[in-house]
Amino acid sequence: MTQNIIVQKYGGTSVGTTERIKAVAERIKDCTKNGFSVVVVVSAMGKTTDVLVDLAKELSSNPSKREMDMLLSTGEQVSIALLAIALHDTGIDAVSYTGSQIRMMTDGNFSNAKIANISTDRIISSLNENKVVIVAGFQGIDEDDNITTLGRGGSDTSAVALAAVLGTRDCEIYTDVDGVYTADPRMISAAKKLNEISYDEMLELARLGAGVLHSRSVEFAKNFKIRLHVRSSFSLENGTIVMPMEEMVEKYVVSGITMKQDEAKVTIRDIPDKPGISAKLFNALGSCNIYVNMIVQSTGHDNRASISFTVKKEDLAKTKELCTELNKDFGGSSVEAKENIAIVSAVGVGMLSHYGVAGKMFGVLSGQNINIEMISTSEIGISCVIDSMYAELAAKALHKSFIEEI
């Protein structure tokens, strides 16, 4: 493959209006003038996906996942066609393709499909004809020719996967923010833009609530060593490069503070402290596709224990029902749930070589009279469950201590 290929992905806000689509077309035109063969992945315009979901809900409270994928995939088809039209108007030859047209093959898991392989034949043929190739993000096709969608962050994942199969190392992700920040700048005005961040840090931040990139796309990038350049489609400024840790120049003890409030805490009290109980509980949750984040087990008196864990709020009703049934077998005293929680986290590769980060974090929270209900740690992250009423206070205090005062 001899072309100097670059893959660019534009999110829904970047193509939210015809004026913005024209601006994207001009940016792509400039890129071709610099000698690049350009492959573009585009999301649906603005809130199109939400509008389509609402239309389906007006007709059914439980629409077929297959038909939802058929419906939602149309949003990207509109975007790619409009962008191709805009490029033609600037004098640039372009061609748009759906996921099925380029044979982006996935498994058959509707609404959350995984990419299996991608044929590059049609893309390379079009690039050899000096065309800009525009691909619908978020979608693919299974072995039975059903249209599938890739779930949250699907367009990012489409772009990274294309960069991998096309043999290019860099993938530009254009969005409405100009990079990855040390915290949400809408909440913390002192948040700083990072020039670079490691895959592992980005994965941890994404898992813990940072919404710039979805974790699946970062995992894909890490596996194939694709450098992600997160940039604003409304600015020519450089953004943040997500890259291998060993290639980074800047390594901070803490590179990001996150806060998420989309989880709830469930506690099963006074269950027997013996082997097999936890396995039965979490295997049952897993079989129901319930994502569990933090887990804490404490042993009390009389060989009885309590297990607390967090799940997505949207899964709370199903979780309580399942745990109540299991608790009849376990012989525990009660199943309790708390929705008004927040998870605040500090993330940074510098934790690998620095001591005392946990103690400092707990001290900051204590100094604000904030009680910690659960704690979870990894090599590069520390997370605490607190009452949601203190979430913003905690995030601001941690950011000031770990980042602003360094």
Closest to 42 measured CA to CA, from 75, 69, 9, 20: 9
Q: Are residues 26 and 89 in contact, defined by beta-carbon separation less than 8 angstroms?
A: no
For 64, the token pair is: 């077929």
- pTM given for the model: 0.85
Q: How many CB atoms lie within 10 A of CB 289?
A: 9
Give me the long-range contacts of 302-305 (CB less than 8 A, separation at least 24).
Answer: 303/272, 303/273, 303/274, 304/270, 304/271, 304/272, 304/273, 305/270, 305/271, 305/272, 305/273, 305/277
Give dist(CA 263, CA 341) in Å, integer: 7
Q: How many CB atoms lie within 10 A of CB 177?
A: 23
Q: Are residues 231 and 185 in contact, defined by beta-carbon separation less than 8 angstroms?
A: no
Beta-strand pair 104-106/115-118: antiparallel
For 3, the token pair is: 């072309």
Token pair 């509980």: residue: 281
Q: Which helix (H) or strand (E) holds 256?
A: strand 256-260
Q: pLDDT in tens for each of the 406 residues of the chain?
A: 447 999 999 999 999 999 999 999 999 999 999 999 999 999 999 999 999 999 999 999 999 999 999 999 999 999 999 999 999 999 999 999 999 999 999 999 999 999 999 999 999 999 999 999 999 999 999 999 999 999 878 999 999 999 999 999 889 999 988 999 999 998 999 999 999 999 999 999 988 878 788 888 999 999 999 999 999 999 999 999 999 988 888 778 999 999 999 999 999 999 988 889 999 999 999 999 899 999 999 887 778 899 999 999 999 999 999 999 999 989 989 999 999 999 999 999 989 888 899 999 999 999 999 999 999 999 999 999 999 999 999 999 999 999 998 7
pLDDT at 280: 94
Which amino acid is present at 280?
K
- Write the CB contacts of 11 (distance below 8 Å, at least 6 apart in sequence): 43, 155, 173, 174, 175, 176, 233
Q: What is the DSSP letter of 193?
A: B
Give me the long-range contacts of 325-332 (CB less than 8 A, separation at least 24).
Answer: 326/268, 326/280, 326/281, 326/284, 327/268, 327/271, 329/280, 330/268, 330/271, 330/272, 330/277, 330/281, 331/271, 331/272, 332/268, 332/269, 332/270, 332/271
Give dist(CA 355, CA 366) in Å, integer: 19
Q: Which helix (H) or strand (E) holds 271?
A: strand 263-272
- The strand order across the sheet containing 115-118 reads 115-118, 104-106, 139-141, 147-149
9-37 as b/e, with b when 16 or more CB fall inside 10 Å?
bbbbbbbbeeebbbbbbebbbebbeeebb
For 359, the token pair is: 């103690």
Which amino acid is present at 191?
A
What distance separates the 2 farthest-apart alpha carbons in the chain? 79
Give dist(CA 402, CA 388) in Å, integer: 21
Closest to 172 measured CA to CA, from 237, 110, 102, 231: 231
Give dist(CA 188, CA 204) in Å, integer: 19
Give dist(CA 374, CA 384) in Å, integer: 6
Closest to 155 measured CA to CA, from 177, 174, 176: 174
CA distances from 283 to 105, 326, 367 (A): 30, 11, 39
